[in-house]
Structure 1
Amino acid sequence: MPQSQIATIRKIREYAKEAHELQDDTMDLDPSSTEARLAQTVKELQTRVQEQQAALDKLKSQSNVDLDAAAHASEDPRQKLQQLIAVKDAYTRLKPTATFLPAPGSVLPALLAARTLQQNVRATKQNITSTQAQLTTKEATLRREEGNLHDANLLTQAMETRIERLRAQREDRSQKTPAQLARELIAAKRAQKKDYDTEMQRLGEAMNDFINDYLSGMLAAEELGGPVVGDMLDVEDDTLAVGFTKKGRAKSTKKPVSEKTRQRKIDQIWGKKAAAVEDEEEEPPTEAEAADAEMRQLIENLFATLVGPGGGKAYFQLERDSAASRFLVRAKIAQFHPRDAKKLRLIDFGRELDD
């Protein structure tokens, strides 16, 4: 290894050793002499200020120049040149003068250093707060942009897949005769209709189960003055037989209700059609069964109106304001006429797509 490199490494090691020694040294902060050193420093500064003030007063007394006027540049070029020459001469004379430094035991350097550190700490804290706010905003923007990028990538992928599928279909159709295309289209439509019929049957069965198991009891409770559909989920037949109070609470079931009174109430609310039975040996319908029949008949009438001559614009004329019609409106399945609450129609969700 060259001697120059060896000497450089040795100097680096010596500097590192001295730096560690200076770092390990404790600062002299003797509390007993702090006040005395501060007083001595203040006294030195006051003495220095008095000396500077005396020198300034002496300069004012010996000079006939207006210092206030000389402090500003003159508009006269010649006078301005004289001012610059005077300033240059002053700097030349002051250059060899020794700089004023505090005494070795003065605490002024420590105070100045402490003030500088305090200012730096305050500025750093302010910058940290500002940076944290900016970082939060940038992170939110980054997450939003990442979400937008993810959505754009998904859309791009879906569009590319769709384009490839359309290209393949076009190439496949270009190789087939019109008769083959017609047969395939008819087969596809038949398969689609079959799927729709199967799905409609499944949904119809699910709707029937829902009405029979859950909705009929709640509709009957609302018709009898009880809570609105959805507020009381489990409604028993005994509760419906007894009825509800004016406040919508179930009455006590201690006293049994006669079948005549119960059947008369059913006839008053749902009409005698609900009590009609095909076989005389069958028992009369309960409140839940009457509400079930009314809901099914209402849905059937609304569907018939929807597919009838008026299409989605025609309304079905209601015989009365029932819990079934109110439930369909609250569920966003049907809607009343804007000017007649006795007219109801289903909301045709596919009308815009068909148009």
Structure 2
Amino acid sequence: MEVSEEIVQKIQKFAQNRQAAEKESASEPLRATNLHAYTHRLDETLRELQEQVRRQEDDLKKLREIRSHGLLDNSNDLWVRVAQARRAKRAYDSLLQAEDDLPPTGSILPSLIAVEDTSQLIRESKVSVVVTAEKLSTDRERLRVEEANLRDSRAIANGLRERIQRIRDTNARKQKQTPSQVAQEVVKDQKKKNKEMDRASADLKVSLDGFIDETLAPMLAAEDLGGPTVGDALEVLDATLKAGYTAHGKPKKQKLPAEPEDGGQQRIDQFLQRNDDSSNPTNKREAAATEVHKLLDALLEAGNSYVDLERDSAASRFLVRAKVAQFHPRDARRLRLVDFGRSLGD
């Protein structure tokens, strides 16, 4: 089948327009708003075509109603019928000679249009897949959160049911007991709670003493000597404390001590002296630890009362900064523990 040059040019123009449309679509990917606008334009075009079809149907109906000079005129005059036949022949001839807007049989234009529609459908499907995947991920995350909330709700409900059942069992058991038995059980529970609290307090005291002796005491001693504030230098050596600090808070250079002739005997004497009186601190770190222990013991024994301080020490300042204790509003030489059940202003 031969294809005319005009059809080839039309196909080439269509291909060029299609490529330009693909480049424009690639430069600006379809989004939800673009798809919505495209769908809206399609709906408007469809409504316009339907309106045009309705108008043409109305015109056709009006033409059919006019029979005075139409082919359906049942006139008995022979010349009138011949005139009608001639007009019909001229009309059919003009239609046959007119150029048909539809592509001829075997044209590749329908295939190209089908390919274009298929490509458009594929692009829209890809965009829809991406949007659906994002929504699916969000829905899955929400599902995991809801499942976690459901598990928590079920655990809370089970705990409440068990708690209610225990209370009911306890009330039922108490109703069967005499007042003396109930009192004995309450006293037993209270003693058990007191023992657990004493054990927890002892463990906490051991942990606190270890923290003070190993970590806090060197930093307090350094602050007392004019060094960094507690927390600025996390590791302070005994040699640094022995050497001291400068006026600017810098560690002094350590000097190598001269070894005496009877140095071994002197170390033995110092060791024996430490064993004889363990309460006396042997260095500044132990002195700072002893001071903190004494201050905490005094504050705990005083309760809500104020304790008189012998001097302004790094230990007292640290307790105030840590919001463990507070100074007297009008006397900074008095200190007491913070009442954690109330605010500082009470």
Class of the TM-score when normalised by the shorter of the 2 chains:
0.5 to 0.7
Equivalent position of 1:131 in the other structure: 132
Give me the TM-score of the superposition, normalised by structure 2: 0.59
CA distance in 2, matches of 1:280, 1:207: 24
Q: Give me the identity figure in percent.
A: 40
Inter-partner Cα distance in structure 2 for 1:91 and 1:122: 47
State the SS of the aligned residue for 1:86. helix
| Aligned: 1:302 with 2:299 | yes
CA distances 1:307-332 after superposition (whole Å, capped 9, x unpaired): 55xxxxxx556555533234334545
Note the C-alpha offset of 1:288.
Answer: 0.9
Match of 2:118 in 1: 117
Unmatched 5+ residue regions in structure 2? 15-50, 66-70, 72-91, 259-273
Q: Which residue of the partner structure matches residue 226 of structure 1?
A: 227
1:346 is aligned to 2:337: yes
From 41, 57, 61, give the equivalent of 1:88.
61
1:236: Cα distance to partner? Answer: 2.3
Distance 1:142 1:189 in 2: 46
The equivalent position to 1:324 in structure 2, one of 315, 326, 329, is: 315
Counterpart mapping for 1:169-248 below 5 A: 169-245=170-246, 248=249
Contact 1:302 1:316 in 2 (8 A): yes
Secondary structure of the corresponding residue to residue 253 of structure 1: coil
The residue identity in structure 2 corresponding to 1:86 is D
**Residue in 2 that maps onto 1:291:** 288
* Per-residue deviation, 1:129: 3.1
Q: In structure 1, what residue type is equivalent to 2:9?
A: A
**Which residue in the other structure is 1:21 paired with?**
none
Partner amino acid, structure 2, of 1:138? D
Residue 9 of structure 2 aligns with which residue?
Answer: 39
Distance 1:36 1:303, change over 3 A: farther
The whole-number CA distance in structure 2 between the counterparts of 1:240 and 1:137 is: 60
- RMSD, matched Cα: 4.4
Q: Which amino acid counterpart does residue 162 of structure 1 have in structure 2?
A: R
Aligned in 2, Cα 1:101/1:326: closer, same or farther, shift over 3 Å?
Answer: farther
How many aligned positions are there? 257
Secondary structure in 2 matching 1:229: coil
- 1:84 deviates by 6.5
**Separation (CA, whole Å) in 2 of partners of 1:43 and 1:184:** 100
For residues 340 and 121 of structure 1, the distance between their equivalents in structure 2, rounded to whole angstroms, comes to: 83
Q: For structure 1, which runs of at least 5 residues remain unmatched after alignment?
A: 1-32, 45-72, 74-81, 258-276, 309-314
